[in-house]
A and B are shown apart, each in its own frame.
Chain A
Amino acid sequence: MAGQRFRELLGAYSWESVILVFNVVAVVVATLLSPLYLNAFQILYSLQQSMGIASILAIGFMMIILVGEIDLSLPALVAVGTVSFARLSVMGLPFGLSLLIVFAITTLAGLLNGYLIVTFSLPSMAVTLGMMGVYRAVALWIGGYEGFGVDAFQPSYIYVGDTLLAGFLPVSFLVLVFLFALAWLLVHKTVYGRLLYATGNNRKATFLTGHSIKSIIVSTYGIGGLMAGVGAMVYIGQYQSARADNVASILLFVVACIALGGFSLAGGKGRVIGLILSILLLGTIQNGMGLANIPGPVQTLVIGLILIASIVVPAGIGAVGAAVSRAKNIAEKYSASSK
């Protein structure tokens, strides 16, 4: 009975299981590569530092991907957020007020992306590519050429991204856990979440059930924008720098997390747990190779190969499954005809 249940679970979560196995392998390899790896504090700190901001953006990205759209401007929005925080801090505003202002700015900017896409039926790739340039320019306008350094920030501004509770627990990690819990509830336990999948899978059918596709899509962009704001809050604490080119090269990495997490760029597919596992996997690999002082080009190569594997392995499993069932069919037919 237990075996049956286990097999059902494995069937339903086949991709997540593959990633889980990859994770175990990665931990073993990282432990073998460097004696410094296997240390809970080291792992927690390193994962948070290297993956924290990418994870927050990935949550926003996931919502947008689920409805079958994309937003390339999210990293640029993070930069708008960081320089806005810095500018407001220099102006002497209390952090709480700045938080509201920045979150409002980035959320509205996200909503604007969505609005442009649904109102004019434009391809999201093109719109957000354009908006990426616009938001980078806005960030440059707010932040100036030099940007801001540590002196710009009041201590309250860098608290979230810089503080280790009890000397080991990053505050930003708690923020991340909270966000993932929220995302899980939203995506898997609410009607709204069901509608995201429905929109991603079949817009016409979703529309015919009496739901506004447009407002669903726009709302996901709003969440994306909000996450960019949260990412900016963590960024200023972690790097104590705010410049128009912040997180300039994070986009591909976020897309990698999403793709490896089992999401389809066409929408309607993937789970929060898959995203968490893929982030853990990429973080572990980078951490392990980094501690072993493996040169940059090799690290890039390994990450690239894993991404390719993430496409080939499921395709391979699918092909094998299809071949097996075909063989079964033939065998059944043969045995039926021989009777």
Chain B
Amino acid sequence: MRRTRVVVATLLLAVMASLPLFAQKKEKLYYVPKFTGFIFFELAGQGAKKACDELGVDMVTLGTTQNDVEGYVQILQNLVPQKPQIMVTTSSDANAPVPVLKKMKAAGATIVTFDSPVGKGGQDLYVNMAPYRVQAIAELESALYNNPKGGKVIWLAPSPNITLFNKVKEEIDNLVKTVPKYKVFQFVDTLYMADDPDKAYSVTTSAMEAHPDLAGFISSSGMSNPASNKAIQDTGRTGKVYSTGMALPSTMETFLRDGVNKQFALWSPYWFGYMSAWLAINIHRGDLKVQDGKVVDVPNVGKRKMYMTPDEVMYTDLNMMLFFRKGHETWENAIAMPPELIQ
């Protein structure tokens, strides 16, 4: 009897002694990009880290080495038993991760997606880079800056089923139809390069053979633009054909210098990651309510509105669009897109 009591007391003491260990545990933010090792997601991760540091949260980065949806979902599945509380993530399939994300949310996780949203119920909030229309304008403006005559252009996308690319293309089609200065563009084809630079290089090379009068390529893909610019340079078409849209400045520096490209655009991945993590942490702590029409003041970014879309996903926009030109090649000296262009 006495021995039992001693054992019970010891156990209780041990439990009590270990309690502070749990109590002192910092909150953890899981950052799970589509895949790792790509500069865009690395920069977004650095931004997320900044928000974590400011708000006193530990950050764990997880991801597959290649763009593989099932591999990505498997990482999430392995997270479920760890009961993640705060997560910032992005998937290349809007549907496949939803069942497991719902499971995490049921266990109390706050999930903020960025770069591309998942289906309804999979996230608390989606941080959009900019309204699709603003992205479309940034890309068309960059194309006009490269060649004011517009001309025959080809749209490049990674694969046919990525929401972001399809929505931006829809807006581009609208703008070309309705805004006089964009009527100079004539889209002759859409080509897919699977987020693979080698494929982008060969696809754009053959497209230039197939369309001798081609004026340029436009794409929202930061992966394809350096490859298509290289293809233009290698085939001696500098000044004749352009390739623009969205791209990472570090990958385009030489093309700006050599005059292959005169202007391209991008939102800042760093502040993208920062804003997503900042929102996720504050929502999780209860300091911020997700609500249709509510305006949030995000440090370093500014005031942004939350809004519900028809597919029942709550959006907010980063909306920090930058133009890169010769002499303005870096994040620091890039030109902010003039607000009057947005109409």
Q: Is chain B a partner of chain A in the same complex?
A: yes
Q: Which residues of A approach B to under 8 Å, CB–CB?
A: 36, 39, 42, 45-46, 49-50, 53, 140, 145-150, 162, 238-241, 243-250, 286-287, 290-291, 293, 295-297, 300
Residue of A147, A239, A249, A286 touching B99 (CB-CB under 8 A): A239
Chain A: minimal CB distance from B122 (Å): 10
Instruction: Check A36/B81 contact, CB under 8 A, given A145-B166, A162-B99, A300-B65.
Output: yes
Instruction: Check A241/B95 contact, CB under 8 A, given A145-B161, A293-B60, A296-B36.
Output: yes
**Which residues 57-96 of B have a CB within 8 angstroms of A?**
60-66, 68-71, 73-75, 77-79, 81-82, 93-96
Residue of B62, B74, B78 touching A295 (CB-CB under 8 A): B62
Across the A-B interface, the 9 shortest Cβ-Cβ residue pairs:
A290-B78, A241-B95, A145-B160, A149-B95, A239-B96, A241-B96, A249-B68, A296-B65, A36-B81
Residue of A46, A147, A240, A247 touching B70 (CB-CB under 8 A): A247
Chain A: minimal CB distance from B47 (Å): 19
Q: Does B37 contact A (CB under 8 A)?
A: yes
Nearest-CB residue, chain A, relative to B37 = A297
Contacts of B161 in A (CB 8 A): 145-147, 243-245
Q: How far is the CA of A246 from the CA of B92 in the complex (A)?
A: 12
Residue of B62, B64, B68, B70 touching A293 (CB-CB under 8 A): B62
**Which residues 116-165 of B have a CB within 8 angstroms of A?**
119, 159-161, 163
Residue of B74, B119, B160 touching A150 (CB-CB under 8 A): B119
Contact present for B64 and A240 (CB under 8 Å) = no
Q: How far is the CA of A296 from the CA of B68 in the complex (A)?
A: 12
Besides A36-B82, A243-B93, A246-B69, 6 new A-B residue pairs in contact (Cβ under 8 A), listed by A number: A46-B77, A49-B74, A50-B77, A287-B78, A295-B36, A296-B65
Contact present for B75 and A238 (CB under 8 Å) = no
Contact present for B70 and A250 (CB under 8 Å) = yes
Nearest-CB residue, chain A, relative to B71 = A249
Q: Which residues of B approach A to under 8 Å, CB–CB?
A: 35-37, 60-66, 68-71, 73-75, 77-79, 81-82, 93-96, 98-99, 119, 159-161, 163, 166
Contacts of A162 in B (CB 8 A): 99
26 sampled A-B residue pairs with Cβ under 8 A: A45-B77, A46-B77, A49-B77, A50-B74, A145-B161, A145-B166, A146-B160, A146-B166, A147-B161, A149-B94, A149-B98, A239-B70, A239-B96, A240-B98, A241-B96, A244-B160, A246-B69, A249-B68, A287-B78, A290-B78, A291-B81, A295-B62, A296-B35, A296-B63, A296-B75, A300-B65
Chain A: minimal CB distance from B314 (Å): 17
Contacts of B69 in A (CB 8 A): 245-246, 248
Q: How far is the CA of A286 from the CA of B70 in the complex (A)?
A: 13
Nearest-CB residue, chain A, relative to B99 = A240
In the complex, number of A-B residue pairs with CB atoms less than 8 Å apart: 96
Nearest-CB residue, chain A, relative to B92 = A245
Contact present for B99 and A238 (CB under 8 Å) = yes
| Most-contacted residue by chain A among B70, B78, B159 (CB, 10 A) | B78
Contact present for A240 and B96 (CB under 8 Å) = yes
Chain A: minimal CB distance from B192 (Å): 10
Chain A: minimal CB distance from B268 (Å): 25
Contact present for B95 and A46 (CB under 8 Å) = no
Instruction: Check A286/B61 contact, CB under 8 A, given A145-B166, A150-B98.
Output: no
Nearest-CB residue, chain B, relative to A39 = B81
Contact present for B81 and A42 (CB under 8 Å) = yes
Q: How far is the CA of A300 from the CA of B66 in the complex (A)?
A: 10
Q: How far is the CA of A46 from the CA of B75 in the complex (A)?
A: 10
Contact present for A291 and B82 (CB under 8 Å) = yes
Contact present for B78 and A291 (CB under 8 Å) = yes
| Most-contacted residue by chain B among A146, A147, A239, A296 (CB, 10 A) | A296
Q: How far is the CA of A291 from the CA of B166 in the complex (A)?
A: 35
Contacts of A36 in B (CB 8 A): 81-82
Q: How far is the CA of A118 from the CA of B257 in the complex (A)?
A: 57
Q: How far is the CA of A249 from the CA of B70 in the complex (A)?
A: 8
Contact present for A241 and B93 (CB under 8 Å) = yes
Contacts of A293 in B (CB 8 A): 60, 62, 82
Contact present for A140 and B160 (CB under 8 Å) = yes
Instruction: Check A290/B70 contact, CB under 8 A, given A146-B166, A240-B96, A296-B64.
Output: no
Chain B: minimal CB distance from A250 (Å): 7
Q: How far is the CA of A339 from the CA of B181 in the complex (A)?
A: 105
Nearest-CB residue, chain A, relative to B28 = A293
Contacts of A147 in B (CB 8 A): 95, 161
Nearest-CB residue, chain B, relative to A143 = B161
Instruction: Check A46/B65 contact, CB under 8 A, given A140-B160, A239-B99.
Output: no
Q: How far is the CA of A243 from the CA of B159 in the complex (A)?
A: 11
Contacts of B66 in A (CB 8 A): 249
Q: How far is the CA of A239 from the CA of B119 in the complex (A)?
A: 12
Nearest-CB residue, chain B, relative to A301 = B65
Q: How far is the CA of A338 from the CA of B99 in the complex (A)?
A: 76
Contact present for B95 and A150 (CB under 8 Å) = yes
Contact present for A286 and B74 (CB under 8 Å) = yes
Contacts of A300 in B (CB 8 A): 65
Q: How far is the CA of A241 from the CA of B95 in the complex (A)?
A: 5
Q: How far is the CA of A146 from the CA of B166 in the complex (A)?
A: 9
Contact present for B36 and A297 (CB under 8 Å) = yes
Contacts of B95 in A (CB 8 A): 147-150, 239-241, 243
| Most-contacted residue by chain A among B64, B70, B71, B161 (CB, 10 A) | B70
Residue of B36, B71, B74, B119 touching A149 (CB-CB under 8 A): B119
Contacts of A295 in B (CB 8 A): 36, 61-63
Q: How far is the CA of A71 from the CA of B37 in the complex (A)?
A: 32
Nearest-CB residue, chain B, relative to A151 = B119
Chain A: minimal CB distance from B223 (Å): 16
Contacts of B75 in A (CB 8 A): 290, 296
Q: How far is the CA of A295 from the CA of B37 in the complex (A)?
A: 11
Chain B: minimal CB distance from A4 (Å): 44
Contact present for B99 and A248 (CB under 8 Å) = no
Contacts of A149 in B (CB 8 A): 94-95, 98, 119
Residue of B65, B74, B77, B166 touching A297 (CB-CB under 8 A): B65
